[in-house]
Amino acid sequence: MVDFCPDDTPQLKAWRGEVRAFLEAELPGGMTFDYDYDEDEAGWDAYLAFWRKVGAKKWIGLTWPEEFGGLGRSAIERWILQEEFAEYAAPSHPIIGMAVAAGLLRHGTHAQRLRHLPGIASGAVQWGEGYSEPGSGSDLASLTTRAHLDGDHWVLNGQKTLGTAAHRAQWMSVLARTDPEAPGHSAISCFLVPLDAPGIQMLPLHNMADGQQNQTFFDNVRLPADSLLGDVNKAWNQIWFGLGGEALDPPGPSPDPYRYRIVRMLRKVMSYCRETRHRGRPLMEDPVVRLQLAELLEGVEAIRTQYYESYSNAVTGITVGPRPIALNLHQAYYKEFWPRFAQTCMEIVGPMAQIQGGRWACLNGELEHYFRGSVSNHAGGTSQLKRMVLATRGLGLPR
């Protein structure tokens, strides 16, 4: 039955109220810190302190079993929590930890879950990603970092790059080749790696939007056997990529504060257009500006409805067409829309949008920063890659 209302019972409405009350107490006015695009100590401290408070309520692992630090709550409660966090301008939770948690919940051993999930759930332990390599970006399955068994230990060698905020993490999820003879994704395994292990070195990369990513070097890093997550050689399909990102948000897709920045930025630009007068009238009343804003509104609203579609697909198991269509389609659309959105916002605000801060900056310089961040729409796979997957796996075009 067609329904776009997530909280249709008094219990769920009360749950939304509880989440909102928490945010109003802990985060009045939201938080502008984005870990991908910020690197100041005070920001990081406030950010991590906030997430430890969320963790203390056991809301990070809301849907996980209680023994792993969760509350065993429903998917729709997770949706409502996420929607409130997103609308409230809460900062996004470190995404890699949630991806690792999803992998652990599906494919981890009981001991691995007990070991790692409580730390993620409490907000105490941060995870970095060890996926991309200098020679393996879109074609991730060509990665050359390798691991081999030496007695009862795995020995890890290679180089990872573009690890967002990995320097703030204690652990890293690393993909490595475990059969040098086997091609492509058929010989890739996933390892849970403590970043204080001997043989690991990290060098910073500074991105265009003030964030830090990292190169990580593994030189004969010895890992105990239980560092392997899931089956050997099966990481591709088990952990993340085979699922097209669906596993990022167990138990099903929900609004994420990361993408919701697009909603918040549009609200800010609309406020600016109401408050700013050009030639004696608010910018909002300029028909050209209104049309530009309306086209942004349409795209943002389309993205919001896609969250509902993703959730409906995941929870009801019914999709329009083959499954890879929706996931890759949503990603392709968002990835192409986002930089155009940021560009149009800059055009609407005008030449002063480029000023970085101080009394002459527009929107406190937030749009200028946001524009630089929109150049990172490749993260998680380029739009070209999503289009290719949509065309071949989704629509059956030849590879």
Q: Which two tokens stand for residue 318?
A: 């019914």
Stretch that binds other proteins, among 134-142, 236-244, 320-328, 362-370 (CB under 8 A): 320-328
Q: How far apart are alpha carbons 120 and 100 in whole angstroms?
A: 9
Interhelix angle 324-349/287-316, rounded to 10 degrees, is: 160
Indicate the SS3 state at residue 191.
strand
Nearer to other proteins, 174 or 262 (CB): 262
Please pick, from the candidates 5, 25, 42, 111, the single residue that binds other proteins as defined by CB under 8 A.
Answer: 5
Within 13 Å, how many C-alpha atoms sit on residue 301's CB side? 6
Strand partners, 205: 213
Site map (CB under 8 A) of other proteins, residues 290-309, x = contact:
xx-xxx-xx-xxx-xxx-xx
Strand partners, 222: 155
Nearer to other proteins, 159 or 306 (CB): 306
Site map (CB under 8 A) of other proteins, residues 354-373, x = contact:
--------------------
Q: How far apart are alpha carbons 182 and 178 in whole angstroms?
A: 9
Nearer to other proteins, 54 or 300 (CB): 300
Cβ atoms of 178 and 233 closer than 8 Å: yes
CB 335 to other proteins: min, Å: 11
Interface with other proteins, residue 8, by CB under 8 A: yes
CB 35 to other proteins: min, Å: 24
Interface with other proteins, residue 316, by CB under 8 A: yes
Closest CA to 274 of 264, 291, 286: 286
CA distances from 271 to 27, 282, 283, 360 (A): 21, 10, 10, 17
Nearer to other proteins, 26 or 87 (CB): 87
Interface with other proteins, residue 124, by CB under 8 A: no
Residues 276-314 as b/e (b if ≥16 CB within 10 A, e otherwise) read eeeeeeebbebeebeebbeebeebbeebbebbbebbbbb
Residues 6+ away with beta carbon under 8 Å from 245? 327, 331, 380
Q: How far apart are alpha carbons 389 and 324 in whole angstroms?
A: 8
Q: Rule CB under 8 A: which of 59-98 touch other proteins?
A: 76, 79, 83, 87
Please pick, from the candidates 333, 341, 370, 371, the single residue that binds other proteins as defined by CB under 8 A.
Answer: 333
Nearer to other proteins, 28 or 398 (CB): 398
Interface with other proteins, residue 281, by CB under 8 A: no
Looking at residue 182, the DSSP 8-state letter turns out to be S
Strand partners, 176: 189
Nearer to other proteins, 33 or 337 (CB): 337
Nearer to other proteins, 193 or 389 (CB): 389
Interface with other proteins, residue 384, by CB under 8 A: yes
Q: How far apart are alpha carbons 130 and 144 in whole angstroms?
A: 12
Stretch that binds other proteins, among 141-149, 208-216, 329-337, 344-352 (CB under 8 A): 329-337
Please pick, from the candidates 114, 248, 270, 361, the single residue that binds other proteins as defined by CB under 8 A.
Answer: 270
Cβ atoms of 333 and 303 closer than 8 Å: yes
Residues near other proteins (CB under 8 A): 1-8, 12, 76, 79, 83, 87, 263, 266-267, 270, 274, 290-291, 293-295, 297-298, 300-302, 304-306, 308-309, 311-313, 315-316, 318, 320, 325-326, 329-330, 332-333, 384, 387-388, 390-392, 394-399
